[in-house]
Amino acid sequence: MPTTPATAANSSSNGTQPSIMLELVDEHGNTIGTAEKLAAHQAPGRLHRAFSVFLFDEEGRLLIQRRALGKYHSPGVWSNTCCGHPYPGEAPFAAAARRTFEELGVSPSLLAEAGTVRYNHPDPASGLVEQEYNHLFVGMVQSTLRPDPQEVEETAFVTARELAERHASAPFSAWFMTVLDAARPAVKELTGETGGW
C-alpha cells in the first residue's frame, strides 16, 4: 500500500499489529476527533466516518461479497461490494478505491459519489454497534477479481431479483439494506431503469 500522511499514521514498522484509528464526526459529518476502531464500535458506539461501495458489471449485476469468517465484526455474512473506514485525514473517495483494491484485487473502472447516509445498527451476534456517517459510491468493475481470503469468503454478481431472493434466505450485514436504499438513485442512474434496481 502506498504511504500517505493518512496511512503513515496507521502503519507499524516494529512488526506489531498497528492500532487502526477512525475519524469521529458530528451529525453533519464534521471531523471532531479520532478513536481506535474497536473502541468506536463498542456499545453504544461512537459516530464515525465510513464508506460503502456498490460496483456493477457491464450487465448491470451488483458485485456482493460474503465477509471472511475470521473477521471480528459480522463474519460470514453477505454485504455490498466493499465497505470500510477512511483513515483520519484520508478522503472517503480515496479510501473506497484503496479498500476495493485491498479486499478484491481490482480498481473500479468508474467510481462516483452517491451521497451520504447516517445510521445506527447494532450487531446482535457480536454486540458491536455500527454508528456511522457513511459516504456512498457506485461504479463499474471490469477486471478479474482477486479477493483477499483474509477479507472475503466468496463473491457473487447478482441481478436485483437474485439479490432479493438471496437476501430472503441468507444472512446479510445489518447495514446492507440501509446503504443500498440510500444509494438507489445513483444506482438507477448508473444501471438504467430496466436494471430493476
Spatial separation of the C-alpha atoms in residues 123 and 51, rounded to whole Å:
18
Cα dist. 137→38, 116, 166 in Å?
24, 9, 22
Strand partners for 135:
51, 116
Residues 6+ apart with CB under 8 A from 74: 67, 123, 125, 126, 173, 174
Catalytic-role residue among 83, 90, 103, 130: 83
Active site residue 59: no
* Side-chain half-sphere CA neighbours of 42 within 13 A: 5
Catalytic-role residue among 23, 90, 130, 132: 132
Active site residue 151: no
Residues recognised as catalytic: 83, 132
